[in-house]
A and B are shown apart, each in its own frame.
Chain A
């Protein structure tokens, strides 16, 4: 396994209790290998950052995890509740099903789920690099659309809702309360009735995160959440993400270029370059890793040759 060279004597928290286990993930577009044999784990209740230069394949990894791409090869196991044993995972992989109840909880093989089920069943939510809000709907409506799944368990067009019966109204009230909770969290209560497209950029970023959180995910995938934010907004974002991790037991997987965000809030950093993993570890370790420094700052040809051949295959 690729992570082998980094495995220290004491197992890391993400190895002990992983929420997401990415094994030998490859994604090829025709002849282009966007992601080649990447394996890493994202710990339960932790913030895992995926970093790397532009074109390293970070967003491709994200799209595979969230079901927008079907990976060429590899296994993406999401373990709700608790870690699954190797035997359980292998049994699930050998069988044709996309999910199974394990001793500790349910385990999903994300590569076998269609994108909407990755969100609705496996409870993985995501945001986008270029913000994708429903710009013509109000802030509040955006947060209610996100609760579509919890509101439509009884069917898409159910008579209880059509006739506006009390049981339905209670359900809707609960949905509204969750939306208001997140509005308060991101400080946009005053703008609840404004169209999402009218919000300033930083607010739109936060709203997108709140919208993802309204799906009540176990894993929140954030694609460059700090892109385009000023230092103050970045700081607010850090506070929000920390709150999400500690108060909601939602693990976070994020792609980020802003090192101040990465180093400040992440527990675990995975570094990709040219579609391969070059480093994996705690932020402090990764920061001092020669291959990471080489890929970010550039080195002399000779040193680079060493660095590249040293990439674990």
Chain B
């Protein structure tokens, strides 16, 4: 078996333990001999940066209306850049570039030990934080209404956490590269939207159960149906394509995602085409509507009506759905089917030699992943109360896949962290209003325009530093004496 490349590299870094004497290390220079030159170097580079940038950045000719060109000065920006360079060089000189610095023997072993220490606390901490988040948002922003933005952001992030966990089953556990995951999200959303707005269904329940029954209960009835239908579509997609592997599977799933979207656009009589389906019923508190009426949620629970009640309820709905995804996945991993998924990712031929029906196993992975996508889709429809094909573009699939890959394939906490970083980070980049300060880029600067650029750089940086994702280790599903994380270098990515 050929060792993994990074494995080889690690071995090179690691001196064998049996080496009789430690290799001679040059004596570390005295602190003065390090700090003083470092400061000198930092100042010098800061000055050079300043001088270089002074003509390039410091002066700017702007055309004011029809008048002549005027010169504006941006010395503040020059100073910021110069200080950045100086500070960075100082830090680097004192840490990474420090003369005589002892190179740590096994960087990844240190990280692995660290993550092993953090890992047991990460999951409860994440769920505790997620549970308390609305309370925190309301308290810190000072009231229900001001917290709308933060609760909405929480819902948004949790939707992606759930989607990431769902796709993680397919990509991370079973090793099947699925570029069309958004198709199942769309199936779930349209299932709920179509069923809940269906006139015959509304009429039927009005006549036989109670007036307005379907509008208030449809989400809870349709949620399982959305999951089942999405799973069914997962099987329908899976059957013909699962004999494909790797790149070919990826291309066909990509096409499937696009086909679903194009069908949604073109089947106007059913889906109302590109105009989408509006007036999807809002979520109710298990039949109790969130409105200001006497039979509304606020009145029944003796609260003052606030539209934020609905938002907070939505937050807990998506938190519950995400937790369900996580718990089912944790449970499935310990069951034969979950082990078979992971074995499939490791070596499909060996699986077949052990009597595992690989087609069936892949289909269950596709169907399970699709089901959670369908749940998330139904939630999306009830949150936005409007679905249109535009919400289900390839970009969505790409973002969800990026979350899974960035988080570390197969790792739930990694995926959650990546979703928070990517989705939350993208959102935070909208808020860099301090960059608009007059001494920086000026009021005309729109930081959100650079979101994708920064996003791209961040992705590249993570992939360079942590090629196996934020959490590269795999936790075994069972252990005899001690649960030891399996190094990411040994875990395979799957080939289709």
Do A136 and B360 touch (CB < 8 A)? no
Report the Cα distance A152→B482, complex, angstroms: 27
The one of B352, B482, B484, B486 in contact with A68, judged by C-beta atoms closer than 8 angstroms, is B352
Encoded as 1 (CB less than 8 Å from any A CB) or 0, chain B from 184 to 228 comes to: 000000000000000000000000000000000000000000000
- B414 to chain A minimum Cβ distance, whole angstroms, is 15
Do B355 and A148 touch (CB < 8 A)? yes
Do A135 and B355 touch (CB < 8 A)? no
**Chain A neighbourhood of B69, CB < 8 A:** none
**Chain B neighbourhood of A151, CB < 8 A:** 336
Report the Cα distance A194→B479, complex, angstroms: 9
**Chain A neighbourhood of B354, CB < 8 A:** 119, 125, 145-146, 148-149, 211-212, 215
Question: Residue on A with the closest CB to B364?
Answer: A156
**Chain A neighbourhood of B342, CB < 8 A:** 134, 136-137, 141
- Interface of chain A: mostly helix, strand, loop or mixed: mixed
Question: Residue on B with the closest CB to A120?
Answer: B355
Report the Cα distance A134→B353, complex, angstroms: 12
Do B353 and A195 touch (CB < 8 A)? no
Report the Cα distance A195→B492, complex, angstroms: 12
Size of interface on B: residues with Cβ below 8 Å to A:
43
Do A116 and B343 touch (CB < 8 A)? no
B11 is an interface residue with CB less than 8 A from chain A: no
Do B347 and A134 touch (CB < 8 A)? yes
Encoded as 1 (CB less than 8 Å from any A CB) or 0, chain B from 336 to 373 comes to: 11011011011101111111111011001000100000
Do B343 and A132 touch (CB < 8 A)? no
Question: Residue on A with the closest CB to B348?
Answer: A132
- Report if A136-B486 is in contact (Cβ < 8 Å); known contacts: A120-B355, A145-B354, A148-B356: yes
A192 is an interface residue with CB less than 8 A from chain B: yes
Question: Residue on B with the closest CB to A214?
Answer: B354
Report the Cα distance A138→B491, complex, angstroms: 10
- A46 to chain B minimum Cβ distance, whole angstroms, is 22
Report the Cα distance A142→B271, complex, angstroms: 48
Do B331 and A198 touch (CB < 8 A)? no
- Report if A195-B355 is in contact (Cβ < 8 Å); known contacts: A148-B336, A156-B364: no
**Chain A neighbourhood of B360, CB < 8 A:** 156
Question: Residue on A with the closest CB to B493?
Answer: A136
- Report if A138-B486 is in contact (Cβ < 8 Å); known contacts: A116-B356, A131-B1, A156-B360: yes
Report the Cα distance A151→B487, complex, angstroms: 28
A157 is an interface residue with CB less than 8 A from chain B: yes
Report the Cα distance A207→B358, complex, angstroms: 22
- B201 to chain A minimum Cβ distance, whole angstroms, is 30
Do B487 and A141 touch (CB < 8 A)? no
Do A164 and B474 touch (CB < 8 A)? no
**Chain B neighbourhood of A67, CB < 8 A:** 352
Question: Residue on A with the closest CB to B350?
Answer: A132
Do B487 and A134 touch (CB < 8 A)? no
Do A66 and B353 touch (CB < 8 A)? yes
The one of A144, A162, A193 in contact with B482, judged by C-beta atoms closer than 8 angstroms, is A193
Report the Cα distance A125→B477, complex, angstroms: 24
B324 is an interface residue with CB less than 8 A from chain A: no
Question: Residue on A with the closest CB to B367?
Answer: A157
Do B332 and A140 touch (CB < 8 A)? no
A5 is an interface residue with CB less than 8 A from chain B: no
Encoded as 1 (CB less than 8 Å from any B CB) or 0, chain A from 160 to 203 comes to: 01101000000000001000100000000100111101100000
B101 is an interface residue with CB less than 8 A from chain A: no
In chain A, positions 106-164 with a C-beta closer than 8 Å to chain B are 115-117, 119-120, 125-126, 128, 130-138, 140-141, 144-149, 151-152, 156-157, 161-162, 164
Nearest 9 pairs of A and B residues by beta carbon: A136-B491, A120-B355, A119-B355, A134-B346, A197-B490, A132-B350, A192-B480, A151-B336, A195-B486
